[in-house]
Chains A and B, each alone.
Chain A
């Protein structure tokens, strides 16, 4: 078998490997070097990772399994020091690897402007995950300030992400308007205004003189002597091909590694190059689409083919949630004509650049729906003289009556490009769907790569699927929350935070709900998410809560209610029992029963009597037991070392402390706790949502048990020494669950879905994160720990408990 060595595990070489293994999995014995200590991930999606809209795990393209399955020898985290073309070996830090064919895929390096202070700690570039993590870490400091040097695509995505993370962000840009390579001035202005509305300060025509600071960065000084404070400086002024190894190896290098259209280096037929590091007749490539084309060409040629790479026009989209911007083709040509549409109220700007009755460029801001169609006209060089009058209004206005979006997609020709990142055209997607019988978005992504990179064309792909499959297609690759939306719970939670949506109306408007006011599935879920995410700002919407949570009692099958007062840790007294007995007598309560959670349930209470029942219970010192709530229910305990000869700790005391700390909090589904004083486990802590087993040396914390529809023993979180620590860990775990789980998802299901180790990683291994969870829980309790019963005894929602009118039978006769 021939030996293939690849230097660099980025998106271009990753795609090369995919093609190679698809065409002939047994052709090469592959060794893959990567200076980064990880494999191929979707670098385009670092911006959503930075802004917190996605996690790193979600953007991994090739995981360990993939490399193992394909027998790739991975040398990750190892720098290549030399290519020895004489002996045909690649020299890595940990040893040599011989090759028959070599691919240089070293990508690009960020350009660092040569000013004083550029090497200070706190000055970062924006190229890889480590840069992203460094930025996320810097943004964690309250009130931290960031200066982004460079207002191009990367710089602005960095600025938007850092702003979403709460930093004070300024962008310094050399040119007169933002993204000057892709946008004209008018669109640059709209973009600047939108960014400023998000609280990002933008300074154009500004040139950096120096980066200030002694042992770490403190500020940035401009040529005109303006100075900005900075805890973080992101240098995003551009990239240059990384060619050092190629130069040292004596390969021909211009700005990048010079290649033939067959992707071969000019002076060694066994050495190829692909990706951002190459230079083809003076052209460099920074966007992903041409890199993928190159990868395909190279894969064929490595297997003896003779494919050639032909550069194409490119379209650009900015990946900042809420900003729609599209630019394609050329808009600086001479002898051009222009058509411009401005709608100030809607903040829409469109500009088409024409030459000889052909569209050669398009810039759109605010409304980019026709981007793909315009781009198609640019690529095909179609004669537009027939539709020139209405061209700027878009495809829907051509040929008489406006088309609906579905018809517009149907009208696209087969070679219309749908996915710009991966260069997938309509015909290929439709063929894949019909020939391979694909029914889900994930399948289409897997087979065609369409919408698998930046995801901006997901809507188009779904429309195509819908056209091709008819009713057989449900766009639910993700299970939608309900019929009112196509978004899943996780997307909705993420967007509530990312877009700072703080009311049910705002969520439904911004996320384009399909119904006017939701349904009984989504409304309670949204209400919970908003209560959880904005505890101090969101006003709980009682009409979006299930009846039990609205009237703070459990509706029974006959329409009566049951009432369970809190008995802290299951401990009661003669006074409490007497008060309960009196209430039972006074209101003729038919059934009194002990619950499984060590308290007393009174069943069969008429709704009208609830406030009076609560008033009597309240006088005896009872508060609501929240036996009806998606919230903290009971904390079951045993008597511990107070009484028990085996007890090792004060399990009752810890249980009561936990319950008093956590009562009143709303959670995605009910939460039941238990504390057992020794491993005999009389409180049955090992089948609870969170359980504690006391031992001589401290407290063993358990989580993710279940004893309902499913039976499942708990997982061990960790062991801690003190009660204080036990409280902190349990509260932090609960808050993590509150913030991350889907509505109605119990802890055991959530933890299984995200992985038990992930819970341990965030709660046990990361003290700072644990503390933050804990603090957020404490903050939210300030607003949650109000006894709902006493509120209602004093008149809140009194309409709930009385009939509006009593009409005697005769009155209507």
Chain B
């Protein structure tokens, strides 16, 4: 098939994730961190800091960013880009809320 479609997979409901927190989704060998912000927006990043692979899901969530627990890199939840003077990016995944359910797009296979 040549038509690329997004596959949305339900991974849980909003209340599963604490505000300003994250939960993990295992996807094969990969771990994806799903974040919930102060104002209930949801984002998904691969759970790997571009610096030294730190588990971003364990970091502190503030405004639109998460601070990696290993060496305090600040990563944008929206783009996966490192902020400030640090350089690097982690993979981000489309995610949306539908009636409280969290749907994750694991991409064009």
Contacts and interface: CB of A to CB of B under 8 A. Distances in A.
Decide whether A and B are members of one complex: yes
Given A543-B20, A546-B69, A813-B109, A803 B63 contact: no
A500 B42 CA distance: 34
B89 interface: no
A523 B62 CA distance: 9
Contacts of A571: none
Interface in B23-55: 23-28, 31, 34, 38-39, 52-55
A812 B63 contact: no
Nearest to B11: A805
B58 A516 contact: no
Contacts of A558: 53
Given A519-B63, A520-B62, A807-B9, A543 B18 contact: yes
A391 to B, nearest CB: 40
B60 A803 contact: no
B26 A517 contact: no
A312 B18 CA distance: 60
Contacts of B39: 516
B24 A803 contact: yes
Contacts of B67: 519-520
B43 to A, nearest CB: 14
A805 B55 contact: no
A807 B26 contact: yes
Contacts of A548: 69
Contact of A555 (B18, B70, B74): B70
B52 to A, nearest CB: 7
B27 A555 contact: no
Interface string A772-813: 000000000000000000000000000100011111110111
B107 to A, nearest CB: 7
B61 interface: yes
A811 B19 contact: no
B59 interface: yes
A518 B25 contact: no
Contacts of A551: 58
A523 B18 contact: no
A812 B55 contact: no
A515 interface: yes
Interface residues of B, number: 39
Nearest to B30: A809
B17 interface: yes
A557 interface: yes
A559 B57 CA distance: 10
Given A557-B52, A812-B106, A812-B107, A804 B12 contact: yes
Contacts of A649: none
> Which has the most chain B C-beta neighbours within 10 Å: A518, A557, A806, A807?
A807
The SS class assigned to the A binding surface is mixed
A73 interface: no
Contacts of A714: none
A547 B21 CA distance: 11
A804 B7 CA distance: 18
Contacts of B19: 543
B92 to A, nearest CB: 16
Interface in A550-584: 550-551, 555, 557-559
Contacts of B53: 558-559
A547 B28 CA distance: 25
A515 B63 contact: yes
A541 B62 CA distance: 13
Given A543-B19, A547-B59, A557-B70, A517 B27 contact: no
Contacts of B60: 519-520, 523-524, 543-544, 546
Nearest to B6: A812
A516 B31 CA distance: 29
Nearest to B47: A559
Contacts of B59: 520, 547
Given A520-B74, A809-B28, A547 B58 contact: yes
Nearest to A550: B58
A799 B34 CA distance: 13
Nearest to B27: A807
B84 to A, nearest CB: 10
Contact of B62 (A517, A557, A803, A804): A517
Contacts of A807: 9, 11, 25-27, 104, 106
A795 to B, nearest CB: 15
Contact of A803 (B23, B55, B70): B23
Contact of A805 (B12, B38, B63): B12
> Which has the most chain B C-beta neighbours within 10 Å: A550, A558, A805, A806?
A805
B72 to A, nearest CB: 7
Nearest to B69: A547
A804 B69 CA distance: 20
B69 A555 contact: yes
24 contacts: A515-B62, A517-B38, A519-B63, A519-B74, A520-B60, A523-B60, A543-B20, A543-B60, A547-B58, A547-B69, A555-B69, A559-B55, A799-B18, A803-B26, A804-B17, A804-B25, A804-B34, A805-B26, A807-B9, A807-B26, A809-B27, A812-B9, A812-B27, A813-B7
Interface of A: 515-520, 523-524, 542-544, 546-548, 550-551, 555, 557-559, 799, 803-809, 811-813
Given A807-B26, A812-B9, A813-B109, 7 more contacts: A543-B20, A544-B60, A555-B69, A799-B23, A806-B26, A809-B28, A812-B27
